[in-house]
């Protein structure tokens, strides 16, 4: 049985999610301890528990430690089964992170699946629905892994209540390389809000136009239905074949201008790197590229989160993940290759 220290590297929930997903694909049992010990609230929170239970159901796994607050989990998978699944987090926890956990298993199953998830769709420290649908899913499709997504209702933190449906078909993996500097670069933005003063998204839009030198028509504002108030700035950055979504969530005690500035700063960092893959997409591409047996991309400086994720992937799959700085180009090259 593979043993994993939950405090390794970044020490967050991604270690558990990646381990669950790849355990299902490889049928490798594992035990993890000190789960999220570096966080203010250590152990399994509702979102992480839902991911464990979802993985167990998809893979008919035997699980120990699947309860709120648990810092140790033993996971022994059997066979991944295609089908229709429904999971409700019960809080505003991220639906996209739960989906991320079981995607590798459903791509490796013997038939198509649908997954209905209820919870948060736009959360801090998690990919928003728009990123998964518009950035990740098209690239997964290019790697031979079909994924279609539909958003039925927005769910902002802390109210939650959002709903999405994912349709997944078995993958026929193929290698993907994203190494060329983007020859065409376009930037725009969408601001979504619910139950907030109209001045908030207007101030965000004005701040984005100033910081990114955007024209009036390049920033749109949409009011959406949700169970509670919420707001997200979504910057659309088209870099050749990649459509990056850079996001910033509105928060209490954080001004509209600051929310917009955070997104704009990340966009400028990505553009300055002259690379097609942003920090968060780099994280998301590691597992499908490893399942495809290899791949490569140019990106900004890899985060500790990405490096930690890579280390977990290497423990489950026969791949090596190399990250090197290309000082001449001003960016980094990440290569996933078979061992």
CB-based contact 54:98 (threshold 8 Å): yes
The residue assigned the tokens 């992937």 is 313
The residue assigned the tokens 């809000």 is 193
The answer to whether 141 is a known catalytic residue is: no
DSSP 217-254: GGEEEEE--BSS-EEEEEEEEEETTEEEEEEEE--TTS
Residues of the chain with pLDDT under 70: none
CA–chain centroid gap for 148, Å, is 15
pLDDT in tens, 297-313: 999 999 999 999 999 99
pLDDT in tens, 65-103: 999 999 999 999 999 999 999 999 998 899 999 999 999
Q: What is the pLDDT of residue 78?
A: 96
Kindly tell me the sign of the dihedral angle through the C-alpha atoms of 209, 210, 213, 215: positive
Q: What is the CATH number of domain 2-172?
A: 3.65.10.20
DSSP character at residue 335: E
Q: What is the pLDDT of residue 38?
A: 84
pLDDT in tens, 108-137: 999 999 999 999 999 988 999 999 999 999
Q: What is the pLDDT of residue 178?
A: 97
Give the CATH fold of the 185-269 domain: Dihydrodipicolinate Reductase; domain 2 (3.30.360)
Number of Cβ within 10 Å of residue 198's Cβ equals: 10
Calpha distance 259→210 (Å, rounded): 14
Within 8 A by CB and 6+ apart from 90, the residues are 46, 50, 119
Q: How far is CA 232 from CA 172, 235, 262, in A?
A: 35, 10, 11
């Amino acid at each position: 049985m593979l043993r994993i220290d939950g405090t390794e590297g970044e020490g967050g929930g991604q270690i558990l999610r990646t381990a669950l997903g790849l355990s299902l694909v490889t049928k490798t049992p594992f035990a993890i301890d000190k789960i999220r010990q570096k966080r203010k609230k250590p152990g399994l929170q509702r979102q992480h528990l839902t991911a464990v239970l979802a993985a167990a159901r998809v893979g008919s796994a035997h699980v120990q430690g699947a309860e709120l607050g648990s810092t140790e989990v033993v996971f022994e998978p059997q066979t991944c089964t295609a089908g229709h699944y429904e999971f409700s987090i019960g809080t505003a926890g991220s639906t996209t992170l739960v989906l991320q956990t079981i995607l590798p298993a459903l791509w490796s199953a013997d038939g198509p699946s649908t997954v209905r998830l209820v919870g948060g769709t736009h959360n801090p420290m998690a990919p928003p629905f728009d990123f998964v649908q518009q950035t990740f899913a098209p690239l997964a499709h290019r790697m031979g892994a079909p994924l279609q997504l539909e958003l039925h209702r927005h769910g902002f933190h802390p109210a939650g209540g959002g709903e999405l449906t994912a349709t997944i078909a078995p993958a026929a993996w193929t290698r993907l390389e994203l190494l060329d500097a983007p020859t065409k670069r376009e930037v725009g933005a969408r601001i979504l809000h619910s139950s907030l003063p109209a001045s908030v998204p207007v101030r965000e839009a004005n701040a984005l136009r100033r910081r990114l030198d955007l024209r009036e028509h390049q920033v749109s504002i949409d009011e959406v239905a949700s169970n509670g108030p919420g707001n997200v700035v979504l910057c659309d950055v088209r870099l050749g074949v990649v459509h990056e979504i850079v996001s910033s969530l509105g928060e209490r005690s954080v001004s509209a201008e600051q929310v917009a500035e955070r997104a704009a700063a990340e966009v400028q960092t990505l553009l300055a790197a002259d690379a097609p893959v942003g920090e968060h997409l780099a994280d998301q591409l590691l597992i499908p590229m490893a399942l495809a047996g290899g791949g490569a991309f140019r990106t900004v400086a890899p985060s500790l989160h990405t490096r930690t994720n890579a280390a977990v992937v290497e423990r489950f799959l026969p791949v090596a993940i190399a990250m090197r700085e290309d000082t001449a180009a001003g960016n980094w090259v990440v290569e996933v290759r078979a061992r």
